[in-house]
Structure 1
Amino acid sequence: MTTFEGLVAGLAVLFGIVAAGSTVPVLPTGAAVSATAVVAAHRSPLALLAVVAVGGIGAYCGDAVTFAICRAGGEALTRRLRMLRHPVRLTESIRERLHRRPVTALLVSRLVPGGRIPVLLTAAIVGLSWRTFVVSNVAACALWSATYAAIGLLGRSVFPQPWQGVVAAIVIVLVVTQVAGWIRSRREARLAATPPG
């Protein structure tokens, strides 16, 4: 297998992981982009740009499928999944963010562990148009992919061997994910303790 064929195969696997993980959030999509960026950076700057592009496209495709499912399921899906523990307050907060700054809301939802599905579900419930979603999510997914590629490059700059950079990128992503999840759960606990109104 030539270097080019290896790169194409790696990008195809990256696309599959990110697209599937963006639809069914069980795969570590950020870690996949970070690890692939480390390996690509050892090959060429163009390979690194391809990783950012493919990661963003995979995330975009997965988000589009998730948004379509959320639009089809709507409030009934919300009740069945019980994803929004405080639906009225949370929906109002997300609705306001989505209408004021859709790119920021979608980007932050991608970066916060467990934040993407509730935001996409709320966007579907409050009637965010496909046009707004399509345009706003392009920037959000591109920024997300670039952020995780940068995390991978951070690991690469510290370690001389690609495999060490890959391990470092995965560890960094997992630590950031755990800390962000802890902060989110603390915030939800505070929100639950605050009386509505």
Structure 2
Amino acid sequence: MVVTLGGLVTALAVTFAVVAVGSTVPILPTGAAVSATAVLAAHYSPLAVPMVVAAGGLGAYIGDAVTFAICRAGGEALTRRLRLLRQPWRIAETVRDRLQRRPVSALLVSRLVPGGRIPVLLTAAIVGLSWRTFIVSNVAACALWAATYSAIGLLSRNVFPQPWQGVVAAIIIVLAAGQVAGWVERRRQARQDRISAGAKS
């Protein structure tokens, strides 16, 4: 399998579209798309890999901005409801503090943890995170996210000689890593819930 310039450009465009849509409607494997494209780019030329990071990062940034805007549009009603429920509001305040102290790491972790991005963006909108903070911080978060998944693709490319083998391996690795991360997060949440329940009793 030979990777041509036209094939690379098509792969970059598809990656951008998949990540942008998947960052708004979380039904597409955005990380797997970036990793798979990084494999193809590396087989074409190692110098093409930064283009994958750029395409994936830009798609993620646009998708996050759309999601954040939607959350802010509906955030006023949710804010009023949360203020009536002290525990959820305290959780929201904790997330806000993390976003204000370390916004880049908070947004990056929300992207790396399966199912973590939209709750964090929703909480950020509810507690009033400014557009300026979001816009500046999310540039670095999306770039680091895209670079992380591109690195996974490069690892697969170095192990398998054929591009299609690396693509398949990258997708499997990303999906498996997502499942493991989700399991760890569920265990952590369950432990925190037990601790909270014990404290109340």
| Residues 78 and 11 of structure 1, relative CA distance in 2, 3 Å threshold | farther
Equivalent AA in structure 1 for residue 165 of structure 2 = Q
- CA drift of 1:88 comes to 3.1
Query: For 2:76 and 2:111, how far apart are their aligned partners in 1?
Result: 21
Query: For 1:170 and 1:54, how far apart are their aligned partners in 2?
Result: 18
Tell me, which stretches of 5 or more residues in structure 2 are unaligned?
Answer: 82-86
Q: Which moved more, 1:6-15 or 1:88-97?
A: 88-97
SS at the partner of 2:74? helix
Query: For 2:169 and 2:76, how far apart are their aligned partners in 1?
Result: 41
Equivalent AA in structure 1 for residue 49 of structure 2 = L
Instruction: Check the 8 A contact 1:78/1:121 in 2, yes or no.
Output: no
Instruction: Check the 8 A contact 1:70/1:77 in 2, yes or no.
Output: no
| Residues 158 and 88 of structure 1, relative CA distance in 2, 3 Å threshold | same
Instruction: Check the 8 A contact 1:75/1:125 in 2, yes or no.
Output: yes
Instruction: Check the 8 A contact 2:5/2:44 in 1, yes or no.
Output: no
Query: For 2:79 and 2:164, how far apart are their aligned partners in 1?
Result: 41
Equivalent AA in structure 2 for residue 142 of structure 1 = A
Query: For 2:47 and 2:33, how far apart are their aligned partners in 1?
Result: 18
Equivalent AA in structure 2 for residue 152 of structure 1 = G
**Could you give the per-residue CA deviations for residues 112-142 of structure 1, whole angstroms, max 9, x where no partner exists?**
1111001101110111100100000000000
Instruction: Check the 8 A contact 2:79/2:126 in 1, yes or no.
Output: no
Q: Which residue of 2 aligns with 1:87?
A: 88
| Residues 12 and 77 of structure 1, relative CA distance in 2, 3 Å threshold | farther
| Superposed counterparts of 1:30-109, under 5 Å | 30-74=31-75, 76=77, 87-109=88-110
| Residues 42 and 78 of structure 1, relative CA distance in 2, 3 Å threshold | farther
Are residue 110 (structure 1) and residue 81 (structure 2) matched? no
Are residue 19 (structure 1) and residue 32 (structure 2) matched? no
TM-score, structure 1 length as denominator? 0.90
TM-score, structure 2 length as denominator? 0.89
The structure with the larger Rg is: 2
- CA drift of 1:33 comes to 0.2
Q: Which residue of 2 aligns with 1:173?
A: 174
| Superposed counterparts of 1:79-158, under 5 Å | 87-158=88-159
Percent sequence identity over aligned pairs: 75
Q: Which residue of 2 aligns with 1:161?
A: 162
Query: For 1:30 and 1:160, how far apart are their aligned partners in 2?
Result: 22
Equivalent AA in structure 1 for residue 96 of structure 2 = R
Q: Which residue of 2 aligns with 1:186?
A: 187
Equivalent AA in structure 1 for residue 123 of structure 2 = T
| Residues 152 and 77 of structure 1, relative CA distance in 2, 3 Å threshold | farther
- CA drift of 1:188 comes to 1.9
- CA drift of 1:89 comes to 4.2
Query: For 2:27 and 2:79, how far apart are their aligned partners in 1?
Result: 19
RMSD, aligned CA: 2.0
Equivalent AA in structure 2 for residue 116 of structure 1 = R
